[in-house]
Structure 1
């Protein structure tokens, strides 16, 4: 992401809009030049890279764009202290020896020789090695040891996304309206929500969409910017979900002279159609071999039923259910399919607790006989005829037989 001072945006009628870079030949050329500058500085000290960047920036009116792109490239780079000795140990030894010497050019050379002999443990050190290591851990003295160059267009995409993320730094409320999506994408979304310490409340239905209201366990006590930073980190995961709208309430920046002092709140709006590109790894289509195997076998089954991957969220008190599949009949009937395979006892208890709380009668629960449900304290008998037991593989025909009984007509 980008530091606050490199964010570029405008506010119009209370709506905040981030700056975006068009993939023009000039912008692509700038991105390519910056990438080549980093590549040319591999093995060199960071101070040399900074000098090259300052030279590129000289006389440019769009210096904030250049700095923003360079900042993102820096995050793709690895800098390390050069030399064979630990700079902290070198400084400690040199300063210790310097206290007993009269300051002089000759004395300085003697100190470096003495330090080299004292510090030569695993391998011999020369006075030049000691001198080179003395301040090698300072930022401008560190060496660029690795760099993963993106394509110029990819760098522009990262810049645009970073600007959008920056709009959430001061957000204190985030509401997402999502429609039907693949469960793997929703599951990735919930994984990142948990990872970044955010909690979500889910409401709504398939007809009008699902509303996800984000909250954080420390949002009432921590600063707004800390909470907003977590939401900003979460944004790239949302981009892998299709068909959504985002609305964020943002605290205005009063430190900017052009900001209207009367503004009590800004609004940041984003949709899945805005063309932002995520750099997070996309989720796998199926979470397990059980799911992919069932889908493959179903594709070979002669049936009017259609197996869909895009399903609805099922909001329940204290959580949410993400069914693995939906079965849809040409006459409009449908039923959800949840496969419970190989999981820990605590997961099984939570899974079945949520299924009960949902109160849905249109969910088929497919359970592996290899699971030790008794040890987990789980009794699925109250799901009645909607339970399908399986051993090695899940039979599509058995699921379809239950679907004929459990499916509900279209609303």
Structure 2
């Protein structure tokens, strides 16, 4: 994402409009030029790269766009490392301690470097040259780090990332966000809910799979002093949202007036027709090898019961539960299957709390015998679900027995 000083937004009334680049000939040529600049800088220091970028920037009025594109390339596609035969901090301690004993001059500097080189040669039992001491002194400064690898994106991908970053920057000062995830494939919901949890967003969820969900997220300025820390977490969630097929959101923002330096309210809306492209990977087919193995074994089983993956969502107050599988019989019977093989106490407590609050009589829990439920504070006497115990692998025959 872009830092605040590289964001380009304009305001029309209360509406915030972020800068978005068209993927036309001019912008694609600019992207190619920047990518080539980074590609040619591999093996050079970051300081050299920065100077080349300044030359490319020139005195043009679109310098902020160029800096934004360069920032994305540098932060997302580059690997910089300290390249020095000697540890820089150790060198500085020894050089500074020795140089403090003499008056600063070119002669004394050279004498100091030579003495340190001789001492290190003796200690390491290999030749250390004065020039190596000189070059290693500040090798760990950012400007002296070496660009050792550049995973060049395509020009289109760079522009897509820039446009997404500008939109993400809108949410740095969000005070509230309301998201409507319309009726979608349930697996898309699960991916979204995972990212909400990953970025520790305080969300209240209402709705169901048939009609969709409304997710209300409190922003940073609704709870604390104006800060971008929580807003960054909201911004990081946006690329995950792009994997959901149908959605819309509205947000209330706190922006600072350029002339009066006072805070004022802004608004921003976005929907699934926005044309933004996510760089987050789509959700995995299965959460674990355990689930994948069970599904593979079920496919080879001759049964009238059809196994479906994450196609049902169970709404519970303020949240939602997405069982791993649904089992459907031709006669109309259906059951939900949740595999509990993860051991963390917090996860187990939350999972069984969800099961109790869901109050479903069509739920089957497959629980690993390796889990220490007692230590996690989980009791099964009041769990409204059928329970199957398994050891290393969940066998389809055990689930069939519970179904029948």
Query: Is the TM value for this pair above 0.5?
Result: yes
Contact 2:6 2:68 in 1 (8 A): yes
**Residues 223 and 329 from structure 1, CA distance in 2 versus in 1: closer, same or farther, beyond 3 angstroms?**
farther
**1:195-344 correspondence runs (5 A):** 195-215=198-218, 220-221=223-224, 223-255=226-258, 264-293=264-293, 295=295, 297=298, 307=308, 309-312=310-313, 314-316=315-317, 319-326=319-326, 335=334, 337-344=336-343
The total of aligned residue pairs comes to: 394
Contact 1:373 1:379 in 2 (8 A): no
**Residues 67 and 373 from structure 1, CA distance in 2 versus in 1: closer, same or farther, beyond 3 angstroms?**
closer
TM-score of the superposed pair, with normalisation by structure 2: 0.84
1:365 to 2:368 alignment: no
Contact 2:175 2:219 in 1 (8 A): no
Alpha-carbon deviation of 1:388?
6.4
**Residues 307 and 142 from structure 1, CA distance in 2 versus in 1: closer, same or farther, beyond 3 angstroms?**
closer
**Matches of 2:35 and 2:203 in 1, distance apart?**
39
Deviations 1:327-352 (A, max 9, x none): 67899x78561322423273444323
**Matches of 2:373 and 2:160 in 1, distance apart?**
51
1:166 equivalent among 157, 164, 169: 169
2:141 equivalent among 128, 138, 143: 138
**Matches of 2:223 and 2:251 in 1, distance apart?**
17
1:155 to 2:154 alignment: no
Query: 1:352 matched to which residue of 2?
Result: 352
Query: 1:115 matched to which residue of 2?
Result: 116
Query: 1:86 matched to which residue of 2?
Result: 87
Contact 1:326 1:334 in 2 (8 A): no
In structure 1, stretches of 5+ residues that fail to align are 403-411
SS at match of 1:74: helix
Deviations 1:134-188 (A, max 9, x none): 2323332222222221121111111111111100111121222113445554444
Alpha-carbon deviation of 1:7?
0.9
**Residues 42 and 305 from structure 1, CA distance in 2 versus in 1: closer, same or farther, beyond 3 angstroms?**
closer
Alpha-carbon deviation of 1:103?
3.5
Contact 1:184 1:284 in 2 (8 A): no
Q: Which moved more, 1:177-186 or 1:264-273?
A: 177-186
**Residues 110 and 65 from structure 1, CA distance in 2 versus in 1: closer, same or farther, beyond 3 angstroms?**
same
Alpha-carbon deviation of 1:108?
2.3
Query: 1:405 matched to which residue of 2?
Result: none
Contact 1:183 1:324 in 2 (8 A): no
TM-score of the superposed pair, with normalisation by structure 1: 0.82
**Residues 133 and 100 from structure 1, CA distance in 2 versus in 1: closer, same or farther, beyond 3 angstroms?**
same
Deviations 1:281-332 (A, max 9, x none): 3221222345445555369767597836443352335x4311224467899x
In structure 2, stretches of 5+ residues that fail to align are none
Contact 1:172 1:248 in 2 (8 A): yes
**Residues 304 and 124 from structure 1, CA distance in 2 versus in 1: closer, same or farther, beyond 3 angstroms?**
closer
Contact 2:80 2:148 in 1 (8 A): yes
**Matches of 1:308 and 1:81 in 2, distance apart?**
47
Deviations 1:35-86 (A, max 9, x none): 1111111111222111111111114332211111100111122223332222
SS at match of 2:171: coil
Q: Which moved more, 1:287-296 or 1:113-122?
A: 287-296
**1:394-405 correspondence runs (5 A):** 394-395=396-397, 398=400
Contact 2:304 2:330 in 1 (8 A): no
**Matches of 1:195 and 1:17 in 2, distance apart?**
28
Alpha-carbon deviation of 1:4?
1.0
Query: 1:378 matched to which residue of 2?
Result: 379
**Residues 214 and 336 from structure 1, CA distance in 2 versus in 1: closer, same or farther, beyond 3 angstroms?**
farther
**Matches of 1:108 and 1:401 in 2, distance apart?**
83
Alpha-carbon deviation of 1:401?
5.4
